[in-house]
Amino acid sequence: MQPIKEGGARLEHDEARITYLLYYQHTTKDNLVLTYVRITIYDMAGVGYDYVLKVTLVGAEKVGKTCLLRRYTEDIFSPSYVATIGVDFAARIIDVNEKSAKLQLWDTAGDPRFQAIVQSYYRGVAGVMLVYDITDEESFHHIGKVIDDVKALAAPDAVYVVVGNKCDLENARVISTEQGQSFADEHDCKFMETSASDNVNVTEMMIEMTATILEIVQNH
C-alpha cells in the first residue's frame, strides 16, 4: 500500500491549539483510496507528563464517539453529525493520583472500508472504550459482537470501559442501566453512562479509566 499523494491543511487554530487535516491517497487493486486523519495538537510547551496512554473508542456509527472525544478534549458539543472518515484523534493531559498522563484518544471509523487502518490502532492501546447509544438496541449488540475481536488485538492488560452514551435521552432509552452493567460485569469491564451533550460523566469516565490503567502500569 504505497501512498501516491500526501498532503495536509490547517483547519483552525488559536493560541492553545492547531487542528490539521492530513491525507494520503493510495491505490488498492481497483480503487483509489483517500484516507483522512484529523489531528488536534495542543500547545503543551512546559507541560510535563509521566505517561502517554493510547485509548481507542470503539462502537457503531453515530453512538457519539467523536462527541465524547471533543467534549473531553475541547469541552464542546456539536449537534450536527459529521461522519468520521479514517481516524479522529485528540489528546489531553490528565492528572490522577499525583501522576500526569497524556491521553491520546482515537475515534475509529465504523465504516468497514477502513477496517485495515482501524485494526492497527488497537495495537498498543492501554484503554478501550466500548461505546453504545442507550436509545439504540443495535448499537448495544454491536459492542457484544466486536469485544472478542478487540480483546484479541489489544494488549492483554488493557482496561475496558463499557460506555452507555446519550443518557440525556431518558425518554427514548431502550437499554436499561442494569443491562449495560451486567454486560460489563460479564466481560470484566468497567461501566458508566454518559452524555456528551449534557457533559455527564465524561470527565469521571476518563479519570476512572486512567486511574485503573496507572494502577496496572505501576504494579508492573
Ligand X SMILES: Nc1nc2c(ncn2[C@@H]2O[C@H](COP(=O)(O)OP(=O)(O)O)[C@@H](O)[C@H]2O)c(=O)[nH]1
* Residue 147 to residue 130: CA distance in whole angstroms: 8
Site string for ligand X, 151-190 (x = CB under 6 A): --------------xx-xx---------------------
Q: Could you say whether residue 61 binds ligand X (CB under 6 A)? A: yes
Cα–Cα distance measured from residue 211 to residue 205, given in angstroms and rounded to the nearest whole number: 10
Cβ proximity to ligand X, 86 vs 96, nearer residue: 86
The nearest distance, CB 199 to ligand X, in angstroms, is 9
Report which residue type is found at 44.
M
Which H helix or E strand runs over 123?
A: none
| Closer of 96 and 192 to ligand X (Cβ) | 192
Task: Write out the binding residues for Mg ion, residues 101-140 only, by CB under 5 A.
Answer: 107
By the rule CB under 6 A, 54 interacts with ligand X: no
81 binds, among Mg ion, ligand X, none (CB under 5 to 8 A by kind): ligand X
Q: Where are the beta strands (DSSP E) in the chain?
A: 3-13, 17-27, 32-42, 51-58, 87-96, 99-108, 127-133, 159-165, 190-193
Question: Which amino acid type is present at position 4?
Answer: I
Residues 78-107 that bind Mg ion (CB under 5 A): 84, 107
